[in-house]
Amino acid sequence: MSTYLYGANVHANGIRQHYLRYGGAEGARARRDAVIIVPGITSPAITWGFVGERFGQQFDTYVLDIRGRGLSEASDTLDYSLDAQAADVVGFAKALGLSRYSIVGHSMGARIAIRAARSAPAGLTRLGLVDPPVSGPGRRAYPSKLPWYVDSMALARKGCDLEAMRAFCPSWTDEQLALRAEWLHTCDERAILTSFEGFHTDDIHADLPHIKVPALLMAAERGDVILEDDVAEIRRLLPGVETIRVPAAGHMIPWDNEEGFYQAFGNFLGAAL
């Protein structure tokens, strides 16, 4: 049985923010903190719908379209900086009247969560940081290359099928490829260029010592987004952070090992997934 409730828009932090809601606030979910899921650099909310479905079984869940992605606002004058994205999440929670909420961010979404948490917004209770890029000033570059994003978006804007998208995501299922082929064109190239540059110019490590809520760092077993030295540094900067690696998974952890992704949260969010 689906936990999907509806998609909607809200005016928050001065822009239109689109989201998908799962689960609702009835029954046992009413006693648990809501969860805001913040996807990565080229992942509209709908591509995380399968995760929202599962989270919705236990939590009142909101999956965001980050500005410049999906159905949220985009324009040639919009600020696509990390600060603006972080303020969006805080403003979103305030606009919806969420009195207690966790943020689960993947990749760029985890960097957004870190920057948002630095400001200690009212109501924020936990951070789930899923394979955040640890690049930044003076650090090694993010392992994914910009042409991978730009070329696949250009293809999607022209119109393409799942077979054309397979060249970019060869390990994905047909269903996953079809969804990406359908929705990738909604990612504004200006937003993606700014965010990718921000991977190398924004210093999220400077934010970590200012975070006062419990945090979970989830890293993929495969790939080199987060190395063991990175985990050790984050532990030093954010004492008490829980850390876990998900086996048999690359950067897109729930795509590669969906059950392992859910299990990795344990009871961190207040209930097992």
The Cα 108–Cα 42 span in angstroms is: 9
E strand intervals along the chain: 4-12, 15-22, 34-38, 61-64, 101-106, 124-130, 215-220, 242-246
| Average pLDDT of span 212-238 | 97
Tell whether domain 4-139+202-264 is in CATH 3.40.50.1820: yes
Closest by CA position to 21, among listed 9, 39, 33, 31:
9
pLDDT at 150: 96
pLDDT per position as a tens digit, 4-57: 999 999 999 999 999 999 999 999 999 999 999 999 999 999 999 999 999 999
End-to-end CA, the chain: 16
| Average pLDDT of span 57-76 | 98
Q: Mean pLDDT, the chain, as a whole number?
A: 97
| Average pLDDT of span 52-70 | 98
Q: What are the residue ranges spanned by the domains of the chain? A: 4-139+202-264
Percent of the chain scored above 90 by pLDDT? Answer: 100
Name the residue with tokens 């399968």.
50
Task: Kindly report the length of the chain.
Answer: 273
pLDDT per position as a tens digit, 192-217: 999 999 999 999 999 999 999 999 99
Q: 210, 234 in Cβ contact below 8 A?
A: no
| Average pLDDT of span 92-100 | 98
Residue 223 banded pLDDT, cuts 50, 70, 90: confident
pLDDT surpasses 90 at 94: yes
pLDDT per position as a tens digit, 119-164: 999 999 999 999 999 999 999 999 999 999 999 999 999 999 999 9
